[in-house]
Amino acid sequence: MSLAFVICSFGFSQKNKLTISYQNDDTTLSNDIEVGFKKIVYTNYPKLMKDFNPKARTDLKIKIDTAYNGVAYAHNGQVVVSSKWMHSNPKDLDLMTHEIMHIIQSYPGGAGPGWLTEGIADYVRFKYGLDNESAGWSLTPFDAKHHYTNSYRITARFLEWVSQHYDDTIVYKLDDHLRNKTYSDSLWNKYTGSTLDELWEAYTQDPKIS
């Protein structure tokens, strides 16, 4: 029989009216990860509250999980990040910007399509990320095989295009509708004068963004 040691670190920190409880189950991970994640939360979360949802919760939990095989997810005020992912992608710190946006979103069940929820979170990573460049992260270049329902960076690029060409506050408006459960596809027409599918069609014809 062998002794199993559970080595982890756990701590609270407070700043900018936020409380973060940080649990790291992998002490072989560079301390730069914790420092980087906290910098992102303390910098971006207050901005996202102000710009999207002033009523968002202010107690957050971050857990670095050695057993989780995905990249990261957010649920109930907690962001879980795969330690394996961070070992192989130590610069991918702005995944935290995407995940904390999910806490800001806190859309009720059935609020709207999942592709839009994920597209908005990546739009926010694109707009607010502290260092996407070091991570080699950018919006996916347009491809004729894309569709707005592809989600994540593909949808985020479309959201940026609509923002640049029609209404630079549309993502903020759609986010509000989703949280209040008043989202419907007709809102695209209301805010731009074109339906969602018409917008996509126009986007495919001239997908340039500046």
What minimum distance in Å lies between the beta carbon of 207 and Zn ion? 23
Residues 125 and 118: their CA atoms lie apart, in Å, by: 11
Tell me whether residue 100 or residue 162 sits nearer to Zn ion (CB atom): 100
Closest residue to Zn ion, Cβ-based? Answer: 121
12 strand-pairing partners? 21
Task: Give the distance, in angstroms, between the CA of residue 20 and the centroid of all CA atoms in the same chain.
Answer: 18
Per-position x/- string for 107-126, each x denoting binding to Zn ion as judged by CB under 5 A, each - no binding:
-----------x--x-----
| φ, ψ (nearest 5 deg) of residue 130 | -80, -30
Residues 3 and 138: their CA atoms lie apart, in Å, by: 45
Judge whether 103 and 113 are in contact, CB under 8 Å.
no
User: What Cα–Cα distance (Å) separates residue 3 from each residue in 28, 66, 129, 186?
Assistant: 19, 19, 42, 61
Cα atoms in the Cβ-side hemisphere of radius 13 Å centred on 114 = 1
Tell me whether residue 96 or residue 121 sits nearer to Zn ion (CB atom): 121
What minimum distance in Å lies between the beta carbon of 160 and Zn ion? 17
Cα–Cα nearest to 148, from 187, 210, 196, 194: 196
Tell me whether residue 65 or residue 118 sits nearer to Zn ion (CB atom): 118
How many residues sit close enough to Zn ion to count as binding (CB under 5 A)?
A: 2
Tell me whether residue 125 or residue 146 sits nearer to Zn ion (CB atom): 125
What minimum distance in Å lies between the beta carbon of 198 and Zn ion? 27
What minimum distance in Å lies between the beta carbon of 150 and Zn ion? 14
Cα–Cα nearest to 9, from 90, 63, 84: 63
Tell me whether residue 2 or residue 76 sits nearer to Zn ion (CB atom): 76
Could you report how far apart the first and last alpha carbons of the chain are, in Å? 62
Tell me whether residue 70 or residue 193 sits nearer to Zn ion (CB atom): 70
β-pairing verdict for 9-15 and 78-82 = unpaired
For position 104 contacting Zn ion by CB under 5 A, the verdict is no
What minimum distance in Å lies between the beta carbon of 118 and Zn ion? 5
What minimum distance in Å lies between the beta carbon of 95 and Zn ion? 9
Binding site for Zn ion (CB under 5 A): 118, 121
